[in-house]
Amino acid sequence: MIQETLKVLRITTYGLLGNEFLEVLRVNTTETWITPYKRYLVDGLLPVEPMKAKIVKRNARQYTLIDGNLFRHGYTHPILTCVCGDQCVCIMVEVHEGICDSHIGGRALSLKVIRVGYYWPIMKEDCVKYAQHCVQCQKHANWWHAATEELRSIYSLWHFHRWGIDILGPFPLAIRQMKYLIVAIEYFTKWIEAE
C-alpha cells in the first residue's frame, strides 16, 4: 500500500499493470463575480434577480472574452485580466511583499495591481485590508512621535529660581574659530543670553 500526502486535490487510479493512471483534477464549480459576465457574453443569459441582471447588463460593455477568459478594457489603463478568489490574494502578496517587495499602502497597492494588469471589483477594499494586516508594515511603520499628553508651560516662582543652558551647533566656522553657541534662558523673565 502506497501512502502519500497530496499537495493538490486529485484522485489517481492505477491500471492493472500499475503504470497506467488517470488523474482527476479539481474542477472549480463555485460561482464567482466573473461567472455572470461570462454567461452573458457567451449565451446572452442574465441573472434571475432583476437588480443583478441590470448591473451585469450595464457593466458588460467594459468586459470582453478572449479564449474563454474575461478581460476588462478601459481608456486609462491597458486591458486587464479579471481574477477572483485565491488568485487575488496571490497577486496582492506578490506585489506587496513578493518580488516587488515594496510594502506600499493599500491605495497605492491597488493602483499597482492595475498597472501589473489585473482587476477584480473590490480590489481597493481588499488591498487596504491586506496592507493593514501585513505584519512587517505594522512593525516598521512610521511611528507618531508627538507627546501623549498636552504640553504645559513651565512656571518659575521668582528670579533665577529656574534657568536652563543649551549648547547648539556645530555651526559653520565664524571668526576666532567659533562654531558652538551657548544659550541661557531665565524662566521667570524669559530673558535669553547667547554666546
Distance between CA 169 and CA 178 in Å, rounded? 10
Q: Count of residues binding Zn ion (CB under 5 A)?
A: 4
CB closer to Zn ion, 47 vs 105: 105
* Count of alpha carbons within 13 angstroms of residue 152, beta-carbon side: 5
Instruction: Identify whether the C-beta of residue 94 lies closer than 8 Å to the C-beta of residue 88.
Output: no
118/70 Cα distance (integer angstroms): 11
- Fill in the amino acid letter for 91: I
CB of 107 within 8 A of CB of 124?
yes
User: Grid coordinates representing 137?
Assistant: 508594515
Cα of 82 vs its chain's centroid, Å: 19
CA distance from start to end of the chain: 91
Nearer to Zn ion, 28 or 136 (CB): 136
Options 38, 39, 103, 124; binder of Zn ion; rule CB under 5 A: 103
Q: Which stretch binds Zn ion (CB under 5 A): 22-30, 35-43, 133-141, 168-176?
A: 133-141
Give min distance, CB of 142 to Zn ion, in A: 13
Considering only 136, 168, 170, 183, the residue that binds Zn ion (CB under 5 A) is: 136
According to the binding rule CB under 5 A, does residue 112 interact with Zn ion?
no
| Single residue of 84, 137, 181, 185 touching Zn ion by CB under 5 A | 137
- Pick the closest to residue 164 from 181, 183, 136, 146 (CA basis): 183
**Residue 70 or 127 having the CB closest to Zn ion:** 127
* Residue range at the interface with Zn ion (CB under 5 A); choices 87-95, 96-104, 142-150, 165-173: 96-104
Cβ proximity to Zn ion: between 49 and 101 the closer is 101
Tell me which residues touch Zn ion (CB under 5 A).
Answer: 103, 134, 136-137
